[in-house]
Amino acid sequence: MDKFIIQGGRRLRGEVAVSGAKNATLPIMAACLLADGDCRLLGAPDVTDVRHLSVLLEELGVEVRREEEGLCLRVINRENSHARYDLVRKMRASVCVLGPLLAARGCARVAMPGGCAIGPRPIDIHLRGLEALGAEIDLKSGDIIVKAKRLKGAEIFLGGPFGSTVTGTANIMMAATLAEGRTVIECAACEPEIVDLANFLNAMGARITGAGAPRMTIEGVDNLQGITHRVIPDRIEAGTFMIAAAITNGEVKISGARLDHMMAVVDKLRQIGVIIEADDGGAIVSSRRGITPSDVTTQPYPGFPTDLQAQLMALLCLAGGNSIVTEKIYPDRFMHISEMARMGANIRKEGPTALVLGAGRLVGAPVMAGDLRASAALVLAGLAAEGTTTISRVYHIDRGYERIEEKLAALGADIKRISEKE
């Protein structure tokens, strides 16, 4: 297993390009199960989650090739519709194959994804939506088995105790594209990744309106054709690099960032003293004065994204005063607190809220990555800490960031990847 060694205290300067969005690429890859012909996904990032889904799709009869510009996917046989547990458990978003398999083949068997470090990851809303479209659902030795001769359009509510569901909305959208008649989804997720998926499906011949708003309508069609599509830039990677610039008091141009996808993030960072200037097709980020304490609550899009909560917390550790961070999407998503405490952070968790007592400084230490975004937060803390930080189990980071250490080193960070003996 690899680890990172970071010497803190270097100000980041220069320009970094944002990769394609992992969370747009994954459902769009699943949507290729619906297509006749080749689908080309330009800008699909080469991260572990994408590689894991590629392995699963190959088992489901899809040929997946990595090309210069991205991925090329083509359905070559429809024999196997069973997504096995040992593949699904490695990457929860594999559950996105459920809707397209059901719509394209009339059946699917997909292992229940189980939980992960950020909390239980139920799929009850996904299943309620598929049932509303006429699917028969069974649970057998940990697998979900769904069947339907032809799905029928329906009015479906996708709200749950934490708002809508992103991959649940993706699943129902994809299933509804080939259903008979009209489907209306109420309380659909509004994330830019959902809009990107809808644009991809419409380019294939689907008839989806209202994507990006809580009410979405899908008119069923008979078939969908393979197309070429460029996935949107990764707003979470862009936000991570904005915070990297701010936490090191640097000045970084983040090219390819879609600020219109990041208004809550830009608003919060500006509030706490980060300078963010729009610059042709991206943003220039710096912070010349101290970080002001703040309070932030994670919410469904367009609210502040839960996937940047840990990274912002790392920055708030340097604020001159106390901040409050409330996690409304995954109330247990605070794995990073104990590791940051090893670096001198003083954070107290009270249920879904964390009180960040601005220590004003962080000190390097050996720490362990626990989940994708918590690990990114530890990298950010290491960049700002005095001395050396060693982060083990960086495979967590490789799930969602393309060669993050190379991108940071190109900005002047002193960060090295070394392979740990097993």
Binding site for ligand EPZ (CB under 6 A): 23, 26, 93, 121-126, 160, 162, 165-168, 306-307, 329-330, 372-373, 400
Instruction: Note the residue count of the chain.
Output: 422
What is the Cα–Cα distance from 108 to 105, expressed in whole angstroms? 8
Is 243:269 a contact under the CB 8 Å cutoff? Answer: yes
Sheet of strand 353-357: strand arrangement: 295-298, 322-327, 353-357, 346-350
Nearer to ligand EPZ, 30 or 356 (CB): 30
**Least gap, CB of 88 to ligand EPZ (angstroms):** 13
Nearer to ligand EPZ, 98 or 218 (CB): 98
Nearer to ligand EPZ, 133 or 385 (CB): 133
Q: Is 116 a catalytic residue?
A: yes
Q: Per DSSP, what are the bridge partners of residue 36? A: 225
**Least gap, CB of 282 to ligand EPZ (angstroms):** 21
* Tokens representing residue 386 in the block: 């005095």
Nearer to ligand EPZ, 81 or 306 (CB): 306
What is the Cα–Cα distance from 123 to 283, expressed in whole angstroms? 36
Strand, coil or helix: what is 88?
helix
**Least gap, CB of 292 to ligand EPZ (angstroms):** 26
Strand, coil or helix: what is 349?
strand
**Least gap, CB of 209 to ligand EPZ (angstroms):** 22
**Least gap, CB of 193 to ligand EPZ (angstroms):** 6
Catalytic residue among 72, 96, 116, 187: 116
Using N-to-C axis directions, what is the helix angle for 48-59 and 22-31, rounded to 10°?
10
Nearer to ligand EPZ, 159 or 290 (CB): 159
Handedness of CA 307, 311, 317, 323 (dihedral sign): negative
Sequence-separated (6 or more) residues with CB below 8 Å from residue 260? none
Residue tagged 């057998």 (tokens): 140
Q: Which residues are catalytic?
A: 116
